[in-house]
């Protein structure tokens, strides 16, 4: 099998710096984690906060720290850094080969959509953001690691896209309908969902937007070749 990751993001219209950060980190005992952080506000300050949190989480994961502990640690980190005056939402999507598990960790009110062998589902329960409360607990869910699984995480700019123009705005039914038809390539799906959200916003995103897709695919790769592709406009 093979783990595939696709990420697509865009900043708020006419604001150069995005407050959404996404990091992908290899786990020391096998697997990958995708860290999605939405910093409070917009622009340089939000970007600085989200980047600090994402890199802190990536460092802890690469040291072998479990995801639930990572979430608590970065909440303590932000609380200590800003005295409880700044918040951020965080979602971590993990394919853990050592535990043969798919793990979803959230301190966020944005949903995660999962297309699994057992059927599609949506984790949408609201969980407190990090950084505001001294004691903060994440939501952590776990599934077996099956092929043809797709997991999609968003920041709230995607979920709220189009609400000022369209009464329905972004619909999770659109996502589940896509997953019901086929098992798409993660980068294609991330690009498609971001473009859909931008279109709902009339081409002018009202908030920073990020989409991350983690897929488990039944692919023969006997040599274990790995690749990564990045596009960074400036």
Q: Using one digit for the tens of pLDDT, what is the confidence trace for 73-91? A: 999 999 999 999 999 999 9
Rounded to 10 deg, the angle between the 43-62 and 67-82 helix axes is 140
Long-range pairs of 115-121 with CB within 8 A, sequence gap ≥ 24? 115/149, 115/150, 115/151, 115/176, 115/179, 115/180, 115/183, 116/143, 116/146, 116/149, 117/146, 117/147, 117/148, 117/149, 118/143, 120/176, 120/179, 120/180
Q: Using one digit for the tens of pLDDT, what is the confidence trace for 125-179? A: 889 999 999 889 999 999 999 999 999 999 999 999 988 765 678 999 899 888 8
DSSP 134: S
Q: Using one digit for the tens of pLDDT, what is the confidence trace for 190-219? A: 999 999 999 999 999 999 999 999 999 988
Q: Using one digit for the tens of pLDDT, what is the confidence trace for 9-33? A: 999 998 888 899 999 999 999 999 9
- Tell me what pLDDT residue 166 has: 59
The tokens describing 181, both together, are 């038809």
- Pick from 227, 3, 186, 23: nearest CA to 100: 3
């Amino acid at each position: 099998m093979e783990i595939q990751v696709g990420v697509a993001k865009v900043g708020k219209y006419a604001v150069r710096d995005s407050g959404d950060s996404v990091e992908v980190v290899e786990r020391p005992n096998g697997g990958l984690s995708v860290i999605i952080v939405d910093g409070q506000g917009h622009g340089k300050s939000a970007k600085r906060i989200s980047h600090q949190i994402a890199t802190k989480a990536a460092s802890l994961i690469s040291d072998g720290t479990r995801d639930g502990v990572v979430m608590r640690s970065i909440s303590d980190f932000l609380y200590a850094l800003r005295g409880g005056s700044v918040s951020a939402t965080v979602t971590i999507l993990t394919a853990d080969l050592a535990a043969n598990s798919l793990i979803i960790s959230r301190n966020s009110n944005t949903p995660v959509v999962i297309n699994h062998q057992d059927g599609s589902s949506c984790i949408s329960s609201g969980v407190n953001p990090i950084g505001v409360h001294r004691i903060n607990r994440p939501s952590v869910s776990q599934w077996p690691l099956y092929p043809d699984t797709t997991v999609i995480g968003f920041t709230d700019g995607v979920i709220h896209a189009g609400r000022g123009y369209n009464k329905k705005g972004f619909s999770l039914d659109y996502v589940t309908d896509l997953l019901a038809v086929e098992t798409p390539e993660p980068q294609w799906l991330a690009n498609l969902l971001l473009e859909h959200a931008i279109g709902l916003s009339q081409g002018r995103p009202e908030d920073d937007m990020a989409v991350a897709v983690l897929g488990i695919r039944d692919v023969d790769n006997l040599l274990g070749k790995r690749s990564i592709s990045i596009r960074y406009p400036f």
